[in-house]
């Protein structure tokens, strides 16, 4: 497992670096408003991904040097199907957010993902799906004074 962790960490580090230094600067237009530039949040998230991937690489190297190979964790066909289903739902949710906006699309995406993970409590689903979006919207509009999608 540590070899796979090392490989995955290296790949995610490379993707993160590519996002920070190539994709985000080339694909993000210059801002027209005062405040944070449009590249700030994508770069911040990519930096978090990259740092986490680097941590995985360091942890894997330490374990491999110590001779700890770790248990084998087989990935079943069901795991791959569920991963693909979650990926499809997330992409569809992002498309929904792009179409109807964050305030309507994001709670739907969060609620569907919670249902897929087995949560059946309607109160918890409603609170988890709406409160974070409301907080982000209020922070974006009133604190950062930036438009939300």
Tell me the pLDDT tens digit for each residue of 38-59: 888 899 999 999 999 999 999 9
Residues 35 and 89 in one domain: no
Using the 3D structure, point to which of 39, 55, 73 is the last residue of a domain: 73
Residues 61 and 86 in one domain: no
pLDDT of residue 71: 67
Using the 3D structure, point to which of 24, 41, 73 is the last residue of a domain: 73
Length of the chain: 149
Residues 30 and 56 in one domain: yes
Tally of structural domains, the chain: 2
User: Greatest CA span in the chain, whole angstroms?
Assistant: 54
Residues 46 and 14 in one domain: yes
Residues 66 and 2 in one domain: yes
Residues 56 and 103 in one domain: no
Residues 20 and 44 in one domain: yes
Residues 103 and 140 in one domain: yes
Residues 1 and 69 in one domain: yes
Residues 57 and 103 in one domain: no
9 half-sphere exposure, CB direction, 13 A CA radius: 17
Tell me how far apart the alpha carbons of residues 99 and 17 are, in angstroms, rounded to a whole number.
29
Return all residues near 6 (Cβ < 8 A) that are at least 6 apart: 56, 57, 60, 61, 64
Name which of 117, 130, 129 is nearest 86 in CA terms. 117
Residues 82 and 57 in one domain: no
Query: According to DSSP H, which parts of the chain are helical?
Result: 2-18, 24-27, 40-65, 77-100, 102-116, 122-138
Residues 1 and 68 in one domain: yes
Residue 37 token pair: 């530039």
24 half-sphere exposure, CB direction, 13 A CA radius: 18
Sorting pLDDT into bands at 50, 70 and 90, what band is 16? very high
Each residue of 77-119: pLDDT tens digit?
888 899 999 999 999 999 999 899 889 999 999 999 999 999 9
Tell me how far apart the alpha carbons of residues 86 and 92 are, in angstroms, rounded to a whole number.
10
**CA 100-101-105 angle, 5° bins:** 75
The domain in which residue 97 lies consists of 76-149
Using the 3D structure, point to which of 73, 94, 112 is the last residue of a domain: 73
pLDDT of residue 147: 78
pLDDT of residue 142: 87
81 versus 71: which is more confidently predicted?
A: 81
């Amino acid at each position: 497992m540590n070899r796979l962790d090392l490989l995955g960490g290296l790949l995610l580090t490379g993707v993160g670096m590519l996002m920070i230094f190539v994709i985000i600067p080339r694909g993000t237009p210059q801002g027209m408003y005062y405040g944070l530039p449009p590249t700030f949040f994508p770069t911040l998230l990519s930096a978090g991904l990259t740092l986490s991937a680097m941590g995985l690489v360091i942890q894997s190297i330490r374990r491999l040097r110590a001779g700890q190979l770790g248990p084998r964790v087989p990935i079943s066909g069901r795991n791959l199907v569920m991963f693909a289903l979650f990926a499809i739902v997330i992409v569809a949710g992002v498309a929904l957010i792009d179409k109807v906006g964050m305030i309507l699309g994001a709670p739907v995406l969060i609620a569907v993902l919670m249902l897929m993970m087995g949560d059946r409590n309607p109160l918890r689903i409603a609170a988890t799906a709406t409160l974070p979006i409301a907080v982000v919207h209020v922070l974006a509009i009133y604190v950062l004074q930036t438009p939300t999608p």
